[in-house]
Amino acid sequence: LVPPRVKIVEVGPRDGLQNEPVSVSTEDKIKLVQKLAQAGCRYIEAGSFVSPKWVPSMANSFQTMTKLREWKEKQGPEYEPLVLSCLVPNLAGLHQAIQVKAGEIAVFGSASETFSNKNINCSIDESLERFALVVAEANTARIPVRAYLSCVIGCPYQGRIPPLAVAQMAEKLLALGCHELSLGDTIGVGTPTTTIALLKELQHVLGNDVDKLAVHFHDTHGQALANILVSLESGIATVDASVAGLGGCPYAPGASGNVATEDVVYMLNGLGVETGIDLDKLVEAGDFICEVLDRPSRSRAGTAISAI
């Protein structure tokens, strides 16, 4: 049994493009987000207010978000529900998000101590202190906060991460006041067995707060769709995906892109699950960005549909 409707969070313009070797112009990022919105995506992570020294490909996020905001305001009521979000690691990032009137921000922590240090240059405890300041100020500014939790199954530096450690960190992130928590299989090592074990532990520790969980699978070992299916069967109704399977994480060596949105939507259509997304238009958005990047799509469904 799977939920009748699933919320897709499109992370391609951020998680995807942050790790592509070709850096994408502001104009092309805007076009990509517009095409995704036209395909029916209503939650799009469009940028990242992190240090441009750490992630140069996200340096044009301020311009991209500003122009997208202006474009959104000129659209009709069907675009009102469109949420354009961005990653924020600290107060400096939040202040940029407030200036561009981001519809949502996302803080990002880790269940692995080493990954936390490599990715955001601080310990897990320090990150929670930083996020507490960010969430409090975002609440005052009335900006909803999503939280990511990385390395929920495995870490590129520490190996396997115990489900209990993940659940305890999830509890702390939610207690800060985040409305949604996305579970990141950052290096795509999960299988249905480890995914189910993790979700069971989370159900046990979080109780009713499991409704706030989303899943975020990178497809490094080709397990993402299977992991998503078992997550849906466990009651998860929010799924992150990246058009054309773009991306990876600059601080997770060996991580490949997220599961391709086209593949997720194709599977959900087959299951009779509503997403609000038009698959053909989504494939066009994927083809567009692959042309910009001059590389083939990593979406199997996208490639098959384009070939017809």
* From candidates 23, 51, 63, 158, binder to ligand HMG by CB under 6 A: 51
Whichever of 39 and 153 has its CB closer to ligand HMG, that residue is 153
Q: Which is nearer to ligand HMG, 135 or 279 (CB)?
A: 135
Binding ligand HMG (rule: CB under 6 A), the pick from 62, 108, 131, 288 is: 108
Q: Which one, 2 or 155, has the nearer CB to ligand HMG?
A: 155
Q: What is the 3-state secondary structure (H, E, C) of the chain?
A: CCCCECEEEECHHHHHHHHCCCCCCHHHHHHHHHHHHHCCCCEEEEEECCCCCCCHHHCCHHHHHHHHHHHHHHCCHHHCCCEEEEECCCHHHHHHHHHCCCCEEEEEEECCHHHHHHHHCCCHHHHHHHHHHHHHHHHHCCCCEEEEEECCCEECCCEECCHHHHHHHHHHHHHCCCCEEEEEECCCCCCHHHHHHHHHHHHHHHHHHHHHEEEEEECCCCCHHHHHHHHHHCCCCEEEEEHHHCCCCCCCCCCCCECEHHHHHHHHHHHCCECCCCHHHHHHHHHHHHHHHCCCCCCHHHHHHHHC
* Binding at 194: pick from ligand HMG, Mg ion, none (beta carbon under 5-8 Å per type): none
Interface of this chain with Mg ion, residues 3 to 32, rule: CB under 5 A: 15
Partner in contact with 251, chosen from Mg ion, ligand HMG, none, beta carbon below 5 to 8 Å by kind: ligand HMG
92 binds ligand HMG (CB under 6 A): yes
Which of 41, 155, 178, 249 is an active site residue?
Answer: 249
- Residue 249 annotated in active site: yes
Q: Which residues make up the interface to ligand HMG (CB under 6 A)?
A: 15, 18, 48-51, 54-55, 87, 89-90, 92-93, 108, 119-121, 148, 150, 184, 186, 216, 218, 249-251
